Structure 1
Amino acid sequence: MKADVIVVGGGIVGAACAAELALRGMTVEVLEARGIGGGATAAGMGHIVVMNDSPAEFALARASRELWLALESQLREREAFSRCGTLWIAEDDEELDAARLMRDAFAAAGVRAHMLDRAALREAEPSISHAMQGGLLIDDDAIVYAPAAARWLLTRSTRIRVSTGCAVRAVDADDTHAVVTLATGDRRTASHVVIANGLAAPDLIAAVPLEAKKGHLLITDRYLGTIHHQVLELGYIKSAHHARGTSVAFNAQPRPTGQVLIGSSRQFGTLDPAVEIDVLATMLARATRYLPGIGGLNAIRAWTGFRAATPDGLPLIGPARFPGDRLWLAAGHEGLGVTTSLGTAKLVAAQMLGELVPFDMPATHAFSPRRFARAHADG
């Protein structure tokens, strides 16, 4: 099979792109250096969450979540999809005000969200500290086991061929076709190449502005009913935007197995995958503030991963460079790769095929990889 499109990267974003392009009738070859669903996809929480840090992010996350919800009936037990909702916890009056602003923004966009007072919060999540003032419940947010979901997406069409253990050394293109050179020296051609290999994208496209954000996660033994929603502190949003240093924020998820997945941390300036005990201890101390009983649970594993972040916090989705728009980027999603993977795939396919964007997206140029080149030229 000679591919119409080669997708470099078999994580959740690459798998979503492959599935969408195959659905459009294109033959797709996926080249993955390790295994399908590895890397950041395997390291993350698999939270499908609407975020509204910017109009572009809000539109992409909202549309992508709807695409995930439409797949709910097709996903199998192994994908561990659950529409558990997201509960943002407010510790004080200032955070309650922030929650109300978020609720109003969501309501204006048709996203179901409602405030919980202290009594309603205790009823929804009895394990949460009674010192918390209330919260905001986003009803239709969900979770999924992303590595299994990536594999499932790649089985949806016979037009997709997957090659694992297949590292890519270089990509190039002219006006008529794109060329991929493998680490073995073999070359493969296609009409288009989609580069969706996260932090490795700058190895293939020069000057792609991606930086690693290291994160820690920990999972417990099985304790059914400890929490019922994905629960986060409202301060998580501030933590996610720290530009330097180390930060932690409370974030916990009920797995369908009964386990509790606990996060999270952010660190810059390191590619060392080792679990750092001091960071993990700080993260767990933060979690104890919100879930006082968490220290009594048995932890069975901790690990780290690396988010691929851009300078402005928005992903790179679209043509990578001139000429010919044969090379495409789908990378830099930071902590929203699982959420926005399906929407990203729709955007890539629409741009590649010259179609209108299939959902309400006020500013697709906000994701253009060329925005940084333009900013550099303007500077």
Structure 2
Amino acid sequence: MTADAVIVGAGIVGAACAAELAARGMRVDVLDGQGIGGGATAAGMGHIVVMNDSPAEFALSAYSRELWLELAPQLRKRDAFSRCGTLWVAADDEEWQAARAMHATYAARGIAAQLLDSAELRASEPALAPGMAGGLRIEHDSIVYAPTVAEWLLTQSPGAANIHVRLDAQVNAIDAHGVTLANGERRHAAYVIVANGIGAQTLVPSLPLQPKKGHLLITDRYPGLIRHQLLELGYIKSAHHTVGTSVAFNAQPRPTGQLLIGSSRQFDTTDPAVEMPVLAQMLQRAARYLPDLPTLNGIRAWTGFRAATPDGLPLIGHMNETAPNLWVALGHEGLGVTTSLATARLLAAQIAGDAPAIPPEPYLPQRFAHGVCHV
């Protein structure tokens, strides 16, 4: 039977899109050659965070976080959802003033957040290095294990009976009527949705995507050592570098008691190998904030590739008028898990012709074709 939609990619974004379309009664084929929840979904931290680099980023991440909080009661223990909150750490007075400005912005937009002075920060996270200026706690930010949530969305969500998943399906080409697999098989659909991250470049070469490599390391179990997702306020500057290598402190308390340590960003490489000099630089940075880190046992390090767009916003919607059945959900960079559920809602609303919950224009792929960027 011909599907209504074919989705290329079974990561968290593709799975969310499939679940949303299936819940609306569409028959959905999901094709992936790696498995459910692979690629950037498997490589990332699973942080669900409201970000405020631009009004469009704030709108998408805040909307999606609300959808995650609605979904959370349905998730299983193995999905490791935890509303641990994010704690942005200010190392000095300049960053403390930045925290104050962030707090004012979040408060004005209804996001629950609290400023912590130096003593309050120390009491909240005793493992942090002494002498930090303070911090900003974002209450309802959360963490989740995205690969298993992708599996839940595809197999147990309300519309899952309408979803057919093929995990031996390497897509080689896309045209006006569907997709061609590596074995020559054709899959036809009224809507073809490309949601396989940086891998989409081989299918749609015109996409304005750039790979941004990142390293992560996970430790042995140290329950209670940290309580929040911890990030330095300098992380925002690091995240928006467009050349070279940068690192920033980012640490997550996993429900297992392990610590997940990041983060790094590299351009101009597609080599997945762990690079020891970059990993060392990242861990040295983290040790400035967590002095006990060098005494912990690290058990595994890995890399992944974020798909970045020139303006830092994802591509969500119809590709262009010359390919009427081609849609994309790509380019989320480090916010793919956070914004996956909102991406699915926006895409489904566009396909169905419904009014979306937030304006879709900042994320439309055509913004680059027309030389317009909404930020």
Q: Distance in 2 between matches of 1:227 and 1:53?
A: 26
Q: 2:76 is matched with which residue? A: 76
Q: 1:235 is matched with which residue? A: 234
Q: 2:272 is matched with which residue? A: 273
Q: Tell me, which stretches of 5 or more residues in structure 2 are unaligned? A: none
Match for residue 161 of structure 2 among 158, 163, 170 = 158
Instruction: Please state whether the residue corresponding to 1:161 is helix, strand or coil.
Output: strand
Kindly report which structure 2 residues correspond to 1:227-266, keeping only aligned pairs within 5 A, or say none: 227-266=226-265
Return 230-239 or 105-114, whichever deviates more: 105-114
Kindly report which structure 2 residues correspond to 1:230-379, keeping only aligned pairs within 5 A, or say none: 230-323=229-322, 325-357=324-356, 359=357, 361=358, 363-375=359-371
Query: Does the 8 Å CA contact 1:47/1:338 hold for their aligned counterparts?
Result: yes
Kindly report which structure 2 residues correspond to 1:1-379, keeping only aligned pairs within 5 A, or say none: 1-155=1-155, 156=157, 157-173=160-176, 178-323=177-322, 325-357=324-356, 359=357, 361=358, 363-375=359-371
Q: Deviations over 1:94-119 (max 9, x none)?
A: 11111111111111111101100011
Please report how far the alpha carbon of residue 374 of structure 1 lies from its aligned counterpart in structure 2 after TM superposition. 1.1
Query: Does the 8 Å CA contact 1:307/1:335 hold for their aligned counterparts?
Result: yes
Amino acid at match of 2:78: R
Amino acid at match of 1:106: Y
TM-score by length of 1: 0.96
Q: Deviations over 1:200-242 (max 9, x none)?
A: 1122223101110000000000000110000000000000000
Amino acid at match of 1:191: A
Instruction: Please state whether the residue corresponding to 1:171 is helix, strand or coil.
Output: strand
Instruction: Please state whether the residue corresponding to 1:375 is helix, strand or coil.
Output: coil
Q: Distance in 1 between matches of 2:351 and 2:104?
A: 35
Amino acid at match of 2:52: N
Please report how far the alpha carbon of residue 130 of structure 1 lies from its aligned counterpart in structure 2 after TM superposition. 1.0
Query: Does the 8 Å CA contact 1:212/1:306 hold for their aligned counterparts?
Result: yes
Instruction: Please state whether the residue corresponding to 1:89 is helix, strand or coil.
Output: strand
Q: Distance in 2 between matches of 1:104 and 1:154?
A: 39
Q: Distance in 2 between matches of 1:171 and 1:104?
A: 46
Instruction: Please state whether the residue corresponding to 1:151 is helix, strand or coil.
Output: helix
Amino acid at match of 2:165: V
Identity fraction in percent: 65
Give 4+ residue runs of structure 1 displaced > 6 Å after superposition: none
Q: Distance in 1 between matches of 2:80 and 2:245?
A: 31
Instruction: Please state whether the residue corresponding to 1:71 is helix, strand or coil.
Output: helix
Q: Distance in 2 between matches of 1:218 and 1:36?
A: 22
Q: Tell me, which stretches of 5 or more residues in structure 1 are unaligned? A: none
Please report how far the alpha carbon of residue 325 of structure 1 lies from its aligned counterpart in structure 2 after TM superposition. 3.2
Instruction: Please state whether the residue corresponding to 2:292 is helix, strand or coil.
Output: helix
The alignment's C-alpha RMSD in Å is 1.0
Amino acid at match of 2:212: K
Q: Distance in 1 between matches of 2:170 and 2:337?
A: 23
Q: Distance in 2 between matches of 1:352 and 1:137?
A: 37
Query: Does the 8 Å CA contact 1:205/1:320 hold for their aligned counterparts?
Result: no
Q: Deviations over 1:256-301 (max 9, x none)?
A: 0000000000000001111111111110110010000111110000
Please report how far the alpha carbon of residue 324 of structure 1 lies from its aligned counterpart in structure 2 after TM superposition. 6.2
Return 204-213 or 346-355, whichever deviates more: 204-213
Q: Distance in 1 between matches of 2:205 and 2:303?
A: 27
Q: Distance in 2 between matches of 1:321 and 1:181?
A: 20
Q: Deviations over 1:34-76 (max 9, x none)?
A: 1110000000000000001111110000000000001111110
TM-score by length of 2: 0.97
Q: Deviations over 1:146-194 (max 9, x none)?
A: 1011001101210000000211111112xxxx31111111111111011
Q: Distance in 2 between matches of 1:180 and 1:234?
A: 44
Amino acid at match of 1:375: G
Query: Does the 8 Å CA contact 1:89/1:233 hold for their aligned counterparts?
Result: yes
Query: Does the 8 Å CA contact 1:252/1:260 hold for their aligned counterparts?
Result: yes
Query: Does the 8 Å CA contact 1:103/1:136 hold for their aligned counterparts?
Result: yes
Q: Distance in 2 between matches of 1:43 and 1:299?
A: 16
Query: Does the 8 Å CA contact 1:113/1:138 hold for their aligned counterparts?
Result: yes
Instruction: Please state whether the residue corresponding to 1:269 is helix, strand or coil.
Output: coil
Q: Distance in 2 between matches of 1:374 and 1:58?
A: 23
Q: Distance in 2 between matches of 1:89 and 1:206?
A: 40
